[in-house]
């Protein structure tokens, strides 16, 4: 293996110190929270393309985890990373020989940055798509981290748009997940704004048209909060808001206030 050195200068001056260089590594393990080779609503047909940028990795294992099932026994597809960027067009169909909606779990032997585009054809031509970055495993929400450790996404309830919520269990144990929707002023949103999801190991689910659970109306700045309530488990979450007229989609990764 080629030996690589990173040289960092540490500067000293009377009583003070500073540094000159920083390094930001990729990560070894993570998830694409949603991938697809599937028909959607309003005539959409979703496909996912993936880019893997390696920074010292030579091999990556990829698991396709179809939605709403235990994927413990899934077998990996091993991809050799023989150049800086490897492109997997239509990853669900071409790499895994599958179809449907799910997530992709990846584990590399060196740092990687993974990103993807999930897109649908447009009428009469072209496409609409959303960029979905790979989420490092360490960014997942875990139990016992309190309110600040739960994942948040901000969405609007508007006519002509639908918001889908995706939650991915990135652990090898079942996870119970609480979902709560709040108005912009922090009160529970009117309607069925709180519910629970049960996710099997390595399972993901997508709750379509999430805001249909609320009383009808127009509400801006809704807070979608997702947290693990079981003793074990770890999750990532996202929202995808889609224009019903065009199927133009925008993606939002759940984030938390503390770790």
Partner 1 sequence: MGPHADSLVLVGLDLASGNELWRTEVAGGMVSLPQFAPDGSQFYVTVRDVDVDSPNFGGGPMHQGDAPSANQLMSTMVVAIGRDGVIRWSLDLASGGAGMGGGQ
Q: Is 172 in the site for partner 1 (CB under 8 A)?
A: yes
Three-state SS at 62: strand
Distances (CA, A) of 183 to 83, 154, 258: 47, 10, 21
Number of neighbours of residue 111 by Cβ within 10 angstroms = 15
> Could you say which residues in the range 113-152 bind partner 1, by CB under 8 A?
137, 140, 142-144
Q: How far, in Å, CA of 72 to CA of 53, rounded?
A: 26
Q: Is 93 in the site for partner 1 (CB under 8 A)?
A: no
Q: Is 55 in the site for partner 1 (CB under 8 A)?
A: yes
Three-state SS at 48: strand
What is the DSSP secondary structure assignment for residue 173, as one 8-state letter? S
Q: Is 80 in the site for partner 1 (CB under 8 A)?
A: no
CB of 9 to partner 1, least distance (A): 5
Question: Which of 49, 61, 99, 244 touches partner 1 (CB under 8 A)?
Answer: 61
Q: In sequence order, what DSSP letters do the residues of 119-138 get, joined into one string? A: EEE-SSSSEEEEEEEPEEGG
Please identify, using beta-carbon distances, which residue of 178 and 214 lies nearer to partner 1.
178
Q: Is 92 in the site for partner 1 (CB under 8 A)?
A: no
Q: How far, in Å, CA of 96 to CA of 99, rounded?
A: 8
Q: Is 111 in the site for partner 1 (CB under 8 A)?
A: yes
Q: Is 75 in the site for partner 1 (CB under 8 A)?
A: yes
Please give the residue ranges that form the binding site for partner 1 (CB under 8 A). 1-19, 22-29, 54-56, 58-59, 61, 63, 65, 71-78, 84, 105, 107, 109-111, 137, 140, 142-144, 170-173, 201-202, 231-234
């Amino acid at each position: 293996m080629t030996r690589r050195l990173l040289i960092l200068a540490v500067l000293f001056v009377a009583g003070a110190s500073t540094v000159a260089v920083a390094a930001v590594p990729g990560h070894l393990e993570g998830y694409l929270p949603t991938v697809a080779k599937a028909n959607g609503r309003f005539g959409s047909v979703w496909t996912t393309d993936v880019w893997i940028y390696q920074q010292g990795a030579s091999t990556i294992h990829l698991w396709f985890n179809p939605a709403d099932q235990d994927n413990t026994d899934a077998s990996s597809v091993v991809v050799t990373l023989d150049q800086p960027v490897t492109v997997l067009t239509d990853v669900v169909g071409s790499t895994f020989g599958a179809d449907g909606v799910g997530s992709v779990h990846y584990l590399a032997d060196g740092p990687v940055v993974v990103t993807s585009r999930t897109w649908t054809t447009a009428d009469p031509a072209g496409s609409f798509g959303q960029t979905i970055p790979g989420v490092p495993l360490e960014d997942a929400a875990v139990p016992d981290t309190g309110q600040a450790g739960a994942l948040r996404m901000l969405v609007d309830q508007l006519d002509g748009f639908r918001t889908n919520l995706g939650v991915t269990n990135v652990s090898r144990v079942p996870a119970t997940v609480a979902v709560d929707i709040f108005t912009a002023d922090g009160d529970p949103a009117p309607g069925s704004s709180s519910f629970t999801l049960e996710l099997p190991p390595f399972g993901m689910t997508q709750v379509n048209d999430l805001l249909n659970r609320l009383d009808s109306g127009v509400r801006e700045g809704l807070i979608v909060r997702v947290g693990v309530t079981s003793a074990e488990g770890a999750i990532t979450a996202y929202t995808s808001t889609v224009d019903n007229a065009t199927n133009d989609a925008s993606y939002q990764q759940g984030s938390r206030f503390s770790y």
